[in-house]
Chains A and B, each alone.
Chain A
Amino acid sequence: MTTPAAVLPLSDSLFALTLALLLLAPLAIAGVALVNTGLGRSRSAAQSLLGSITIVAVAVIAFAVVGVAFAGNPSYTFFLAGKPWNWLGGAPLLLHNFNASQPLSQMGVLFEFMAVAFAAMIPWGSGADRYRLPAGCISTAFLAAAVFPLLAHWIWGGGWLAQLGANFGLGAGFLDAGGAATVHALGGLSALAVVWIAGSRKGKFPKEGLATAMPGHNAVYILFGCLLALIGWTAWNVAGAILWLHAAPSTLVVTVINTLLAASTALVATFTVTRTRFGKPDASMCANGWLAGLVTSSACAGIVTPLEAIFVGGIAGLATPLLVELLELALSIDDPSGAITVHAFGGLWGLFAAGLFAPQQGQMLAQLVASPRFLAWCSRLSICSPRSSTA
């Protein structure tokens, strides 16, 4: 077991700022919960929102009891080919002696609490009308206690992905300040696993003819959720840049601008695509485009320039409606909330773009080495999730 690496000090003002930002971050979770509720059927709206809150609660408890130990420091390291591979945290269970840790470590744990709640909630929207709440809670407990902490440790806890730069000369190691990998790619791929296992909603894909359109029941919920998400996401990205990129205060405004630009460009791109294809803009698709832009910003808002943020958001916005159609019409994957496209694709694209535009040499390779890990987790989740989890 190795001791934690030296932690940079956090000044009082920066501590206060980070804490304030993390108190705003749950608005992103609230926004996405509202979007998922609006995209579902009216008869299951209460169930959807109740499920979101319950899953957040279960995720936080499971992470506090077990997960925080695997995510934290000190950690277990083995040596292969003369290089250290820091793969698992070995912190005390139940946040034992948490008060004695340094402020930056405490903030990191608080960030992880928010992140695990968010990641666990993403598959719930995709499994609407099929995913039972008790089964969802069991899957969430597994995700929050075992899957998420491992990824969080590798990326944020000084694990082997974070050390790719130091050990193999790959840029600054794997960069994911806003949780594009640990939250969105993981949540989106979990959603894919849930949809695969649960199958489609009754009547969605009839034996003959095209897929039945099941539009969201409340566009106001969906669009208001997007606005709430923007506030939370901005706070999330800035807090992530302070904690994981050790960004200077002078760079934080650019991070906010990049977040806004990525979301706005994605929305405009999706608006244009749906307007061109269907003759009028589609509200739910535009909301998905907006969220996809925000997800991509999670990976790269603290790294890219505003012009690059426009490019990254634009690609996410163009791809979102096309991928949603591809999944539904070509692959018969019934994803009511569009989480697979928005979170899985958006997260992976953002991580790729961060490597593409990062100034460090070899950063792209670090991002590419880490990305397959998240695809592989999809297989783990598919196998581990119980079949009884569906209605």
Chain B
Amino acid sequence: MKFAGLLVMPAGFFLAVAALVLFPDAALRATFVLCGLAVEALGLGVAVRGHMERLTDVHLAPALKVTGGASRR
């Protein structure tokens, strides 16, 4: 999920660059650039969420190990 977010971020950038080439009209161009920024922010959000989930897993891992050891005893 983290890497998916990181891949979405450049997509947002390319959207902003494509707007420059595709739309000579200032309003349309601005709209698409803002959309690119939004996609970029979305990617960052997904990457942060992915990172947080991974962090939670890492924090839980030692506890799971202890539980496993106790059940074996």
Contacts and interface: CB of A to CB of B under 8 A. Distances in A.
A376 B63 contact: no
Contacts, number: 64
Interface residues of A, number: 25
Nearest to B12: A372
A379 B17 contact: no
Given A368-B37, A375-B44, A331 B52 contact: yes
B33 to A, nearest CB: 5
Q: Give the most central of A168, A170, A371, A375: most B CB within 10 Å.
A: A375
B10 A168 contact: no
A375 B40 contact: yes
B37 A371 contact: yes
A378 interface: yes
Interface in B1-52: 3, 6-7, 9-10, 12-13, 16-17, 19-21, 26, 29-30, 33-34, 36-37, 40-41, 43-44, 47-48, 51-52
Contacts of A164: 20
Given A199-B58, A331-B52, A368 B13 contact: no
Prevailing SS type, chain B contact patch? helix
A305 interface: no
Contacts of A382: 6, 47
Contact of B33 (A83, A368, A376): A368
Given A365-B29, A365-B30, A379-B47, A372 B36 contact: yes
Contacts of B48: 331
A383 interface: yes
A81 interface: yes
B20 A207 contact: no
Contacts of B43: 375, 379
Contact of B9 (A168, A207, A369, A379): A379
A376 B20 CA distance: 18
Given A81-B21, A332-B55, A369-B33, 9 more contacts: A365-B30, A372-B9, A375-B13, A375-B44, A376-B12, A376-B40, A378-B44, A379-B10, A379-B47
Pick the 9 closest A-B CB pairs, nearest first. Answer: A379-B6, A81-B21, A372-B13, A372-B40, A376-B13, A376-B10, A379-B9, A376-B9, A375-B40
